[in-house]
Structure 1
């Protein structure tokens, strides 16, 4: 009998819960989230994604309720990533136009008037799949071009899904972090604009806008909880992390909404790309994962934390979990009968 790999959980010794020097970045504040959600609502196909109950699994775990935000319905792209990519590209276009995002909407930014003012722009990014497709889709929707670099071993279906949007997609002979560096290099050489969901020195505005875009998902979820379960608040929050931008955006927004009482937050990663789990054992600095990042959790195969994300997760996450691939495989195999909605 083959022994299953264990999930490792590490409590966060740096957590600032209970007011120990709490400071939430403005870009994930309720005000910033409202601005992002208002823009997203101008998309013709915008609809809040469902909050789905898993009563069978909740019963098995001995808890009253387990809810999952089902992002497979987001603009037909099966992922939340488009919230960040579309908002960041919109913010970039607004800056080029010299107008605040509050004065723009989807229809205006894709208009011939904007195209005449700005000309044809090319956005470039690196991805393990969903972020690249989101950038490609958003660029196409707004009448612009996109180039996407993917790491070695990327599934052909992911590559073709990106190309179907009209973007150029290239698989490199390197991992995700090397694809990020290549996209930055090509942008500097060819005058393109990087739209990346991880930050580095000198590149923080666009990653912050991407995170601001992700807060739409969190705002929707809290509103749905308030409507479906009046008077109740979630006790625990599980968030998956690649570079950490989504996890940090959602957690930062939730903390900003109620700094004195927010859910116990657990950040979950694959063993092969457990950079946050490793960072939580260090001296407060973000640490990279080790190895080749090979995992079936392809969208999470990121070895270097985004500094913007790490600052939030370091301060407000309660625990970090590193999981074997078998956890994802088992979850994927669960019958749909365990779901409601």
Structure 2
């Protein structure tokens, strides 16, 4: 299903949005993250999938692979630590905090009494827990009923205290806010709500690092960029950077969401940040969000051109296709949410009318982002039909053949 956004415009990046997200803040975030041991220094790969592009009938298809950004396994490693760093620097401004030393853990004694909390579907919570441990503060993570035991253990491994609730993601966000208020803790969330925008903005600033690398790596600007939905943070962080960089010549931005977690799709229809109409329970755990972030929507409503819905089975098919590699393309480990952008492209190309409406033809140069690897290894193996280790081995073999 497709809905086009009547409010999107190809104009110069507006000044009011630059006050929220801008290239300067993304560059600063990138410089700070270079000091964190859990972030790889090299840019993540921008894989060229020539055979997949030929199969789809487009000029070019590239995958920005965030699965290897960090041992944490996802793009979320860019957002939570930046938000936590900015929180520390605001609250301890009199101490003239040095970001480099902060990421290296030199302020642990100063931060020993600081506790941060967040709700999560998995990846954001793991990144926040890891950042908190690096900085020397305490972390509490609220998990809803659909977060797997495997993901819980991965978060707890970074020293976070886990709180379980029986409800869904949006209810876990509410619970985290209540716990923070009653205990004097600080919420570091990637979704905004009334009276809470500073932290989600800081999280999104970190995601601009992905776009900065894309600009450096591309040999020609992309005409189309498929972005995962969720609450809208990734899409806003990447789209805002590329919009500011390219101005009126920006790419066509297409957001992809699960059918049952369609909050951004509904927002485009209703003209405001809206709630999903489905059950929200999707195999794409990172995108199983019931309510759009109002702050992210302020950016998205003016630059996302189209919203596409996919089924869980589409995401699983995309995981398998990326794992195998089409023709001679590189095999890629893409988790359930990570494969959603590729799935959105595949769904669009299966329907000629849909492809035409999106301008996807033989001249299209398309970018998708693999936002996560096998962050839940057993789930990945069950869905993809093989282990992430097997796919990674094929990728290493592919790379060796390319060098020869």
Q: What TM-score do you get using the length of structure 1 for normalisation? A: 0.91
Seen in structure 2, the aligned counterparts of structure 1 residues 20 and 191 have a Cα distance that, compared at 3 Å, is closer
Conserved? CA contact 2:103–2:134, under 8 Å: no
The one of 240, 244, 248 equivalent to 1:256 is: 244
Contact 2:145–2:165 (8 Å) recurs in 1 = yes
Q: Does 1:269 align with 2:257?
A: yes
* 8 Å contact kept, 1:40–1:83: yes
Cross-structure match for 1:86: 81
- The answer for the alignment partner of 1:4 in structure 2 is none
User: What is residue 25 of structure 1 aligned with on the other side?
Assistant: 18
Shift of 1:126: 0.5
In the superposition, the TM-score normalised over structure 2's length comes to: 0.77
Deviation at 1:268, TM superposition (A): 0.5
Query: Aligned equivalents of 1:262 and 1:22: distance in 2?
Result: 16
Question: Post-superposition shift, 1:170?
Answer: 2.8
Asked if 1:317 is matched to 2:304, the reply is yes
Q: Is the 8 A contact 1:242 1:269 kept in 2?
A: yes
Say if 1:145 and 1:167, in contact at 8 Å, map to a contact too. yes
Residue 111 of structure 1 deviates from its aligned partner by 4.1
Q: The residue matched to 1:86 in structure 2 has which SS?
A: helix
Q: Structure 1 stretches of 5 or more lacking a match?
A: 1-7
* Alpha-carbon distance change, 243 to 20 in structure 1, aligned in 2, over 3 angstroms: closer
Distance 1:19 1:74, change over 3 A: closer
Q: Which residue of 2 aligns with 1:107?
A: 101
In structure 1, the partner of 2:320 is: 333
> Deviations 1:33-61 (Å, cap 9, x if unpaired)?
11111111122343221111222211111
1:168-227 CA-to-partner distances (Å, cap 9, x unmatched) read 1233100000000000000001111100001112111111000001111111111111xx
Does structure 1 residue 179 correspond to structure 2 residue 172? yes
Q: CA shift at 1:292, angstroms?
A: 2.5
Q: Which moved more, 1:26-35 or 1:143-152?
A: 26-35
Cα distance in 2 for partners of 1:169, 1:71 equals 26
* Partner Cα distance (1:290, 1:100) in 2: 47
TM-superposed CA distance for 1:107, in Å, is 2.9
**Secondary structure of the structure 2 residue equivalent to 1:266:** strand
- 1:310 to partner: Cα distance: 0.6
Listed as ranges, the matches of 1:1-341 within 5 Å are 8-18=1-11, 23-44=16-37, 45-47=39-41, 48-98=43-93, 104-112=98-106, 114-225=107-218, 229=219, 232-282=220-270, 284-334=271-321, 335-338=323-326, 339-340=329-330
> Structure 2: how far apart are the matches of 1:15 and 1:26?
19
Is the partner of 1:76 in helix, strand or coil? coil
Aligned residues: 326
SS in 2 for 1:34: helix
1:154 deviates by 1.3
Output one character per residue of 1:64-91: Cα deviation in whole Å (capped at 9) or x when no partner. 2111111111221110011110000011
- Mapped to 2, the partners of 1:137 and 1:116 lie a distance apart of 17
Report if the CA contact (8 A) 1:86-1:138 is conserved: yes
CA RMSD of aligned residues (A): 1.9
Structure 2 unaligned blocks of 5 or more: 331-398, 400-404
